Amino acid sequence: MRYAIISDVHSNLEALEEVMKDIGKQNINQILCAGDIVGYCANPQQCLEVIRSLNIITIAGNHDQAACEKLDPLFFREEGKKAIYWAQKQLRKSDLDFLSGLELTYKNNDLIMAHGSLDEPDRFFYLFDITNAITTFELMDRIICFVGHTHIPQIFVREGKRSFLSDSLNITLQAGCKYLVNVGSVGQPRDNLPLASYCIYDKDNKTVEIRRVPYDINATQMKILEANLPEMLARRLAIGQ
Ligand SMILES: [Fe+2]
């Protein structure tokens, strides 16, 4: 069984399409999405259409919940808030209903998925470092959990009572360990590498790989500017921030 896990598409259609092309070449059995389909960039409706048409198992991110008014974007930064209010005007009722129906976590026999963390998933905590990751490790009843939200691809490992950040983003799972994998962001990577990020989990071969995919950043930036969304949302894509 080979899974592709995407997250934080954030209405970036060019990045999503390139990632889907790459996934198409990887013998994937099931695609999962860890939330934040909308927000920031200028194609919320088109990205939702892609996600909905491909039978992708999807959970809600904070931007998805803000778009369908399940969450107050009060604590979003100004440009994030503007993009959400703009997206609300673009989306059809069926899109908003779809977002509103998304659960906060997903679990099957092989894996768990949440947008931010497993503890109080409706509060969307950020797992930036190993200290924040420990509570989620303690709640994991599967060997692997996938998250997004920080837009930074990272793999945390728990071995007995010891937890650490993996040096590599391309690993083989070891018996007795648990793994918390941040798959990074398709549409707005923030690790100074302006390439779309996603993850492949091969359950049978016990491998996890973060893949990076180039896309037409210029086209995405032009759409953001044409939509009169904050210029900073276009600029940051070029530097992966
Ligand atoms: Fe996000």
Grouped pLDDT means (10 residues each) for the chain, 241 residues: 98 98 98 98 98 96 98 93 97 98 98 97 94 94 98 97 96 98 98 98 98 98 98 98 95
Interval between CA 62 and ligand 1 midpoint (Å): 7
- The answer to whether the CB of 113 falls within 8 A of the CB of 59 is yes
For residue 161, the CA-to-ligand 1 centroid distance in Å is 30
Number of other CB atoms surrounding residue 74 within 10 Å: 7
Q: What is the pLDDT of residues 211-223, one digit of tens each?
A: 999 999 999 999 9
Is beta strand 207-213 parallel, antiparallel or unpaired with respect to 170-172? antiparallel
Tokens standing for residue 24: 């198409």
**What is the rounded distance in angstroms from the CA atom of residue 74 to the CA atom of residue 79?**
12
Domains located in the chain, CATH noted:
2-239 (3.60.21.10)
184 CA → ligand 1 middle, Å: 9
Pure H helices in 54-181: 62-67, 78-90, 93-100, 130-139
Give residue 36 CA to ligand 1 midpoint distance, Å.
5
Q: What is the pLDDT of residues 18-59, one digit of tens each?
A: 999 999 999 999 999 999 999 999 999 999 999 999 999 999
CA of 167 to the centre of ligand 1 (A): 23
- What is the CA(32)–ligand 1 centre distance, in A? 15
CA of 176 to the centre of ligand 1 (A): 31
